[in-house]
Structure 1
């Protein structure tokens, strides 16, 4: 697969606009960069302004032929469509060649979730070091509050826009498109976070770093580092499945929805702009209506 060079001017200019004007998160920018480089690679040196709808359809056919899922192609088309909207608005391009082009349909895939028992075995495993105490706090918070990876990585200890309120038992996160939301934090997660804060100061230089979760070198945990620690924990407890951060988010949503049946409340907790994004979890059999968080979530209380 050929890519555009990292400093392709139109990619850098558009990403800079997304960062400053749309306040796109670092992980979002990383994904857009990858998808736009893919467009440039398919264009084989042609500027995006010279591409037609026929070219875009040809690119989609090539991606489909390479085995990319409809979902992956749709994500790339979304990134490309946004680029062209920007070109129309700021560079006078007359039309958007991506408009009206859809990705091939893929079979509907339900999100993979952990059972409450699997989640408990992963979260309740013994911890023997400062870093393992930190890891437990991160994973408890993932499952307790359904955070996205970038949201958890962006938390500060006393952040005005993204941080913990221990007295209220709430976490404030900065989600997609800089949307803020407050989400409840369950009892075991609060205990794990308090245990982490008690030992966090043992890391040299910790007091100078605002991030809630830091590395052994007192730097903010990156999304990649968090993924790696979760993979290590799932292997060490012999879970037998590959666990990724978003699986915790899926599990949070599915377990709440299974017990409460309150789709709108789960939508708010997840920070979905549209309920359509939340409806993927409605394959579960609803048991009974309950108070959405305190009574429904498997780890909301001790």
Structure 2
């Protein structure tokens, strides 16, 4: 006769929920999630004929596997296991279980979502001066165009962009050599890398440098400055980019890292050279860059589905 349905088991769960409510003071939403997790645990134990206090790691692994088979997302399974782990840890303090059967049991890994990238047309539209410029300030419009050209044209991180100085120096975190058409930045781990700067970005840089003196504070070393004349911040870049995307009529929210993703995926689609894209992005490990091959395959799949006669749906 399965012991999981005995009153003391339900009492274990009830007392633990009371502990979480009164002593831990968990939010009602969290308590509801935990109660559901314990209900599922009780159900699994009853179906398996296992005394809840006698459950073993192999039981818990099988139950977690059943959650996965039934379509529960990895993050939801992780929450369930966390609730179960806490219950058994609490029972262990009272000597009601010899060991915690949930220790060492992990939820399946959640698939990493693909980074979102703009289409080529949308990326170009974002930097296009004629249809996008904010009429409020010609200088700020020139600055924003230049920032977008560097984020998309060079694949810079936003921290690398705001760290750029007007010129090279011992204290400079990064700079652009217009004569050499290259940007020199410090990436993650203080690793320096150099990337080519395209003709559109160089033209935007010249326009911005011509307008920069109108708003930059004297002796400010930063290449990009805010309206106050000091170095622009990450959040200000995000805000300006969001505004510019709205002005351009783009159908999606745009953030700086999306332009870096777009740079990588568009370059890979054109060249197929994964190693070169890795170097341009400054990734220490090529496996980090390989996510863009999935973006590339997605692009090819869309082309195939739209164009290949054998892929068209029959009416």
Q: Verify: 1:242 aligned to 2:246, yes or no.
A: no
RMSD over aligned Cα, in angstroms?
A: 2.6
Give the alignment partner of residue 201 of structure 1, picking from 181, 206, 213.
213
What corresponds to 2:198 in structure 1?
A: 186
C-alpha distance in structure 2 between counterparts of 1:116 and 1:195, whole Å: 23
Residue 167 of structure 1 is aligned with which of 165, 179, 184?
A: 179
Query: Structure 1 or 2: larger helix share?
Result: 2
Structure 2 CA distance for partners of 1:209 and 1:256, relative to 1, 3 Å: same
CA contact (8 A) 1:151 1:175 kept: yes
Deviation at 1:103, TM superposition (A): 7.3
Q: Compute the displacement of 1:282 (Å).
A: 0.5
Q: d(CA) in 1 for partners of 2:141 and 2:74? A: 36
Distance in 2 (CA, whole Å) between partners of 1:194 and 1:279 is 35
Higher relative contact order (CA 8 A, sep 6+): 1
**Is there any run of 5+ residues in structure 1 with no aligned partner, and where?**
1-41, 45-67, 74-99, 288-302
Match of 2:309 in 1: none
Distance 1:149 1:217 in 2: 19
> Structure 1's 276 and 208: CA in aligned 2 closer, same or farther, altered over 3 A?
same
Aligned partners of 1:255 and 1:195: how far apart in 2? 26
Change (3 A) 1:204 1:155: closer
Q: Residue 7 of structure 2 aligns with which residue?
A: none
CA apart distance, 1:120: 1.0
TM-score, length-normalised on structure 2?
0.57
Query: Cα deviations across residues 130-156 of structure 1 (Å, max 9, x unaligned)?
Result: 111100000010000000111101110
Describe the superposition over 1:178-203 as per-residue Cα deviations: whole angstroms up to 9, x where unpaired: 11000101110010011000010011
- Structure-2 residue corresponding to 1:144: 153
The secondary structure found in structure 1 opposite 2:290 is helix
Q: Identify the match of residue 280 of structure 1 among 273, 291, 297.
A: 291
Change (3 A) 1:101 1:193: farther
Contact 1:203 1:216 in 2 (8 A): yes
Q: Displacement, 1:108?
A: 3.6
1:269 maps to what in 2?
280
Aligned-residue offset at 1:110: 1.2
- Structure-1 separation of matches of 2:216 and 2:282: 35
Q: Mind listing any 5+ residue stretches in structure 2 that lack a counterpart?
A: 1-23, 27-72, 79-103, 301-315
Q: Equivalents in 2 of 1:102, 1:230: separation in Å?
A: 39
